């Protein structure tokens, strides 16, 4: 059996599984979000974007995660339970005489660079991690549980802590090149169709 077709790990069979996934996407995915095939989202997740978010194929967002940024999430990304991917400039803080709750909100102003998060292919973000707007996480990176990502993480790096820092790499350079080439082949096989 093809390993990519078994990723769901659901105990539900065929049409029940498809129906449940469609219902969860309908409930959890909100405005300005496009997603590819085999997109899975867990119970209680909230996925929205002020200006635009594109999610690739075979992406999984865990239960109770919050994704509320612009940007992109690459194919085969795995986002754990209770992860928060949120903006750092969502409310204006320099409006004199205006309480935060009434200040200019991110969707009511033009898009800024720091509003977007770019997550590469085959990234795993561990449970309860936080990723702030304006960050890029390179292909194949691993973000440890409860890490707080405030700056870019290179491809295939392992980053942990608060603030997250690189503590190692998944592969040596030769293995990294082979893995990346394998991802290129998988991506080429899967034509992106957004729902």
**What pLDDT band is residue 129 in, cutting at 50, 70 and 90?**
very high
pLDDT of residue 105: 82
**147 φ, ψ to 5°?**
-70, 155
Domain-by-domain residue ranges, the chain?
Answer: 3-189
Model confidence at 115, pLDDT cuts 50, 70, 90, reads confident
Per residue in 142-170, pLDDT tens?
A: 999 999 999 999 999 999 999 999 999 99
**Residue 157: beta bridge partners?**
169
3, pLDDT greater than 60: no
Q: For residue 56, how many other CB atoms are within 10 A of its CB? A: 24
CA 79 to chain centre: 6
The DSSP bridge pattern shows strands 157-160 and 165-169 to be antiparallel
Superfamily covering domain 3-189: Hexapeptide repeat proteins (2.160.10.10)
> Is pLDDT at 66 greater than 60 in this prediction?
yes
Give the C-alpha distances (Å, rounded to integers) separating 8 from 41, 50, 78, 141: 10, 29, 12, 21
Of these ranges, 10-19, 52-61, 105-114, the one predicted with the greatest mean pLDDT is: 52-61
Q: Read off the pLDDT band of 121 (50, 70, 90).
A: very high
Cα–Cα distance between 29 and 171 in angstroms, integer? Answer: 34
Token digits of residue 4: 């990519």
User: According to the model, what pLDDT value does residue 2 have?
Assistant: 47
Q: How far apart are CA 132 and CA 150, in angstroms?
A: 6
Averaged pLDDT score across all residues of the chain: 90
């Amino acid at each position: 059996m093809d390993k990519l077709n078994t990723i769901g790990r659901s105990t539900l069979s065929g049409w029940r599984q498809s129906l449940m996934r469609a219902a969860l996407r309908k409930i959890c995915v909100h405005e300005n979000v496009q997603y590819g095939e085999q997109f899975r989202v867990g119970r209680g997740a909230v996925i929205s974007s002020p200006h635009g978010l594109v999610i690739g194929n075979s992406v999984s967002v865990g239960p109770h995660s919050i994704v509320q940024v612009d940007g992109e999430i690459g194919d085969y990304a795995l986002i754990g339970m209770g992860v928060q991917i949120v903006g750092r400039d969502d409310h204006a803080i320099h409006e004199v005489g205006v309480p935060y709750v009434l200040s200019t909100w991110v969707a009511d102003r033009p898009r800024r660079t720091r509003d977007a998060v770019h997550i590469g292919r085959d990234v795993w973000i561990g449970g309860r991690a936080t990723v702030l707007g304006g960050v890029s996480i390179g292909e194949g990176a691993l973000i440890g549980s409860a890490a707080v990502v405030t700056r870019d993480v290179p491809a295939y790096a392992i980053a942990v802590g608060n603030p997250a820092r690189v503590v190692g790499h998944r592969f040596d350079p030769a293995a990294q090149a082979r893995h990346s080439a394998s991802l290129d082949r998988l991506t080429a096989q899967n034509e992106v169709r957004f729902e």
